[in-house]
Amino acid sequence: MNINRMIFPGFWFGKSKTEDALEMAKRGAGGFCIYGGTKKELQKLIGTLKNAAAAPHLFICADYEDGLGRWIDGESWVLSNMAVGANATEGAAYQKGLTLAREAKSVGADWVFAPVMDLCDEKQNPIVNTRSFGAQGHTVGKLGAALCRGLHDGGVLNSLKHFPGHGRTTADSHLALPVLTQTEEALICHELVPFQTALPEADSVMAGHLFFPALDAQMPASQSHAILTGLLKEKMGFQKLVFTDALCMKAAGDEKQTALNALRAGAHILLSAEDSVALSDFLQKQTLPKNCASVSAKLQDEAAASLSGRNKTGLSAAEFNAAYAASCAVWHGEKPQKPFASIAYLELGNEENFAATDFLDRLQQANIQINKYPQKADLLVAVSFSNYKAFKGHINLSVQEQTSLRHAATQYARSVFISFGSPFGAESIKELTAKLFLFSPAKEAQTAAADILLGKQNASGKLPF
């Protein structure tokens, strides 16, 4: 049995070599995880890889958990899981799954690594945050299960991540190995609840590079037999595919040894090694668990077969966002008691250079004068785009930004803090008269924020933590 089918190489546009990807396709890699690129580049690469593939079905995977926008410049973002958690309906989660499936298939992907099932119970977590549905385990599980159904009905596969739970960390596992000190009982009653609830709808589970001494005092979850086999497969009854998280992450350590440990622990698929050709050469020389390659192949065949006939068409990203943005938005504080004709605009937490164009255009269409802070105006509007990003290592407003926001709020009779990303960072700033959370930088979230500010729509969501 070809062991290369257990390897799903990563391909990073602008970094990876096409000849290496072609070599792995010819060796029989089971799939590829694609990062970046344009739609045209993706379609060309996928066609090239599939023409060269030795595997019976070459899966094309991606982290399109919030649509294509995170990975492809100029493409649309889909409202975040936290936004769906603020809406709190399984219908919204299911529709998001259908939309993500439609978006993924538009570029040729058939496996979306979503949903995130980590709980939002640590404000300083730099990598979960808006990716989480919220802090209540059963609710997160139900929303995750509904999103899984939407993905699958839309014709793509899903994956619960990051098992057994990345929520209570302050470290980004792309940069370092997070250590979680909870007792086994606490894990069972908290972190594992959403996974257990959603497992019946899961096509796969992704194991995190997370160290839980209470479960395994020696190995991280992605390399732990006690966690992957003893807990996930035997105690929780999961019998489908188990992925490692990306092997290129710093928390994984040496990717060759990590991959070998993961297979011995019970993983079926090795994801996104930095050098998959070298990993393939290495594994050829190792003693692997009996039948691990044939079991992985059988489960991959079953996953491919399960896609047959599942092609329900979901809403486009724009349609989904427009339909749900206001019902996912959360307003805290005083409602505007009288109309305003001008705002003083202050932008914070925007390291990734998101554009507030759609928000500001909507206000200008309503004849609102936009002044740059600290000019005089009827209302201060402070906007934050602070959001998660792999390898960034931090999130939320900096201490300096919080100080600036506090000072700005004292200069105006009315002030609104609007977040298109993390809802954390301004909670201690009592000088603000109101806060509005959209949890997403999507165009439709921005226009909904403007309409809510103008009193044309109501923010009907509730904070899910």
SS3 sequence of 141-168:
HHHHHHHHHHHHHCCCECCEEEECCCCC
Q: Which of 317, 340, 371 is the endpoint of a domain?
A: 317
Any domain includes 465: no
Dihedral sign from CA coordinates of 301, 303, 308, 311:
negative
- Please indicate, yes or no, whether residues 38 and 174 belong to a single structural domain of this protein: yes
- Please indicate, yes or no, whether residues 442 and 341 belong to a single structural domain of this protein: yes
Residue 400 CA from chain centroid, whole number? 28
pLDDT in tens, 247-299: 999 778 899 999 999 999 999 999 999 999 999 999 999 999 999 999 999 99
How far apart are the C-alpha atoms of 98 and 234, rounded to whole Å? 31
- Please indicate, yes or no, whether residues 442 and 393 belong to a single structural domain of this protein: yes
pLDDT tens track, the chain, 465 positions: 799 999 999 999 999 999 999 999 999 999 999 999 999 999 999 999 999 999 999 999 999 999 999 999 899 999 999 999 999 999 999 999 999 999 999 999 999 999 999 999 999 988 899 999 999 999 999 999 999 999 999 999 999 999 999 988 888 889 899 999 999 999 999 999 999 999 999 999 999 999 999 999 999 999 999 999 999 999 999 999 999 999 999 778 899 999 999 999 999 999 999 999 999 999 999 999 999 999 999 999 999 999 998 999 999 999 999 999 999 999 999 876 678 999 999 999 888 889 999 999 999 999 999 999 999 999 999 999 998 888 788 888 999 999 999 999 999 999 999 999 999 989 989 999 999 999 999 999 999 999 999 999 999 999 999
Q: Which of 257, 286, 317 is the endpoint of a domain?
A: 317
Contacts by 227-233 with C-beta closer than 8 Å and gap 24+?
A: 227/163, 227/164, 227/265, 228/262, 228/265, 228/266, 228/267, 229/265, 229/266, 231/164, 232/163, 232/164, 232/205, 232/207, 232/266, 233/266
For residue 438, give the CATH number of its domain. Answer: 3.40.50.1700
| Structural domain boundaries enclosing 164 | 3-317
The pLDDT of residue 352 is 83
For residue 13, give the CATH number of its domain. Answer: 3.20.20.300
Any domain includes 463: no
Total domains present in the chain: 2
Any domain includes 373: yes
- Please indicate, yes or no, whether residues 277 and 323 belong to a single structural domain of this protein: no
Any domain includes 13: yes
Nearest Cα to Cα of residue 400 among 421, 425, 427, 417:
425
Any domain includes 458: no
Any domain includes 132: yes
* DSSP for 370-416, written as a single string: EEETTS--SEEEEEE-----TTT---S--HHHHHHHHHHHTTSSSEE
Q: Which of 293, 317, 341 is the endpoint of a domain?
A: 317
How far apart are the C-alpha atoms of 250 and 410, rounded to whole Å? 43
- Please indicate, yes or no, whether residues 122 and 224 belong to a single structural domain of this protein: yes
Q: Report pTM.
A: 0.96
How far apart are the C-alpha atoms of 94 and 91, rounded to whole Å? 5
Any domain includes 212: yes
- Please indicate, yes or no, whether residues 244 and 186 belong to a single structural domain of this protein: yes
Nearest 10 degrees: Cα torsion 11, 12, 15, 18: 30
| Extended strands (E) in 82-163 | 111-112, 160-163
- Please indicate, yes or no, whether residues 239 and 378 belong to a single structural domain of this protein: no
The pLDDT of residue 19 is 97
Any domain includes 181: yes
The pLDDT of residue 337 is 67
The pLDDT of residue 177 is 92
The pLDDT of residue 351 is 83
- Please indicate, yes or no, whether residues 308 and 325 belong to a single structural domain of this protein: no
- Please indicate, yes or no, whether residues 255 and 349 belong to a single structural domain of this protein: no
- Please indicate, yes or no, whether residues 250 and 218 belong to a single structural domain of this protein: yes
- Please indicate, yes or no, whether residues 78 and 38 belong to a single structural domain of this protein: yes
- Please indicate, yes or no, whether residues 57 and 187 belong to a single structural domain of this protein: yes
- DSSP code, position 6: G
